[in-house]
Structures are given as C-alpha cells and as structure tokens.
Amino acid sequence: MARTRRPLIAGNWKMNGLKADALALASGIADGVRQTGWTDREVLICPPATLVMAVAEAVKGSGVLVGGQNCHAKPSGAHTGDIAAEMLRDCGAACVIVGHSERRTDCGETDADVRAKAEAACRAGLLPIVCIGETLAEQEAGMTFSVLANQLKGSVPAGATAAKLVVAYEPVWAIGTGKTPTIAEVAAAHAHIRKVLDGLMPDAAGVRLLYGGSVKASNAAELLAAGDVDGALVGGASLKVDEFLAIAKAV
C-alpha cells in the first residue's frame, strides 16, 4: 500500500554537542540530504537549545528541519532556565519534542504539563512531537495499551489536528538499551495509538506516528516497515552522520 503520510525521521541529540562538533554533524547531515534530493520524506534534527540557532543557519536551504527538545508552556516570564516555544521559533526551529520519557522521569513532567507545552508549540507555530511510552514494569504487567491510552488522552491538546501533531511511541525500556520490541509489538502499539487518537480528533488517520527506542541503521528498515509506523525518533544514532542518513534512507 502506498504511504499516505509523509515519513519523518527525527534526530534527538539530547544533551550532546559543543558548537564545532555540532556544526560538523549538522553540515554532514545537510549535505547528505541535499545529495539525495528527497521530497518524499522529512528529516529533522533537534540539538540542545544552545545550538538551535547555529544549527538552523548551518542547514539552511538543505531541506533539513531543526527543532527543540523541550519548551515552557508560557511565552515569557519569570521562568529562569527555561525556553519558550516562541524563542525556539525565533531561533529557526520548526518543531519541538515534548513529553520525552527523560523529561517525564527526570523532571517529573505530567501529562498535563506535556499538553500545555504542546499547546504552546502550536501557539508559536511549531509542530509538537508528543512522546509517550511505557516502562519495563508496565510492559511486563501487560499495561502497555492502558498506559499509552492514558498518556494520549492527557497529553494531546484539545482541538489537535493531523497537521499540528506528531506522536512518538518510545517504550521507555528500549531507549538507549539496545533492546527493541518485536515488529509485531511495534505494529500493535501503533495500531492502538491510532485507535485512541481516532476518539480524540477527527483526522487521526493523518497523524504521523514515529517509533523511537534504540533505532539504528541495522534495524531501521524492519521497524519502519511495521504497520502504522511513519518514521522514527532517533537518539544515539542521530549523532553519527552516516548512521542517521542510513536510517533516513531506510524509509
């Protein structure tokens, strides 16, 4: 069956990169994308906030999108150390990741916090990538579907549309561990997410669903071919030009 949703390959650099290395990485990815001339897929890189503006300049004209890794719900104010969605947009970002499991775990972010940040992204003209996923204990207890449903219902903004929402499924137990669910488990989780979204918005069929969790060049083709998988949210492998481009080529 032909794809009806444009695949998105997103790289989350997390807390990695000083300016010189980051610009070399961004330029390498941009050069690779330019050479392919891709129009049937999107490539996104999300560097630390300190590098968003410089990276956006480095990839300008290549077709590579730049995003942030987090944003505050408010557009401005007394929020020391935070960054507003409008600030990311001003730096050249087009997207922002919200609700990553590392934010939920390390910073205690709730579904309500994630929803507020997703709404802020939309307010600023950014595309929010809302992350959801179950822990190992939840997976072993057979709670995967209920956890995903609850996170979606609590995190997806009211009035969301397919044009203003991406959902990334990242089983927490697979992030950075080298472990991945089976292809059948990935397909089942994505089908469930689509079903839940169908009850939350009128055009759920158009929402892009990304898989994340130890995605690498060696398993990308198989994961991206699973049912209802429209791309990937890539962690460590996005820090290597050849590895990240190989994942993008695997679509």
Backbone angles phi, psi at 204, to 5 degrees: -55, -30
Which of the following is catalytic: 102, 170, 190, 192?
170
Residue 13 marked as a ligand binder = yes
14 among the known binding-site residues? yes
What's the full length of the chain, in residues?
Answer: 251
Residue 190 a catalytic site member? no
Half-sphere exposure of 111 toward its Cβ, with a 13 Å CA cutoff? Answer: 14
214 is in an annotated binding site: yes
Query: Which residue of the set 42, 72, 86, 100 is catalytic?
Result: 100
Taking the mean position of all CA atoms in its chain, how far away is CA 72? 17
12 is in an annotated binding site: yes
For residue 249, say whether it is annotated as part of any ligand binding site: no
Strands 42-46 and 166-169, how do they pair? unpaired
Q: What angle do CA 149, 150, 153 make, to 5 degrees?
A: 85
173 is in an annotated binding site: no
**Residue 69 is which amino acid?**
Q
The answer on whether 38 is annotated among ligand-binding residues is no
Quick one: tokens of 52? Answer: 């968003």
Phi-psi map region of 231: left, alpha, beta (phi>0 left; psi -120 to 50 alpha): left
User: Beta strand 166-169 with 127-132: parallel, antiparallel or unpaired?
Assistant: parallel
**DSSP tag of 132:** E
- 192 catalytic per annotation: no
Which residues belong to the active site? Answer: 100, 170
Known binding residues for substrate are 12-14, 176, 214, 235-236
Known binding residues are 12-14, 176, 214, 235-236
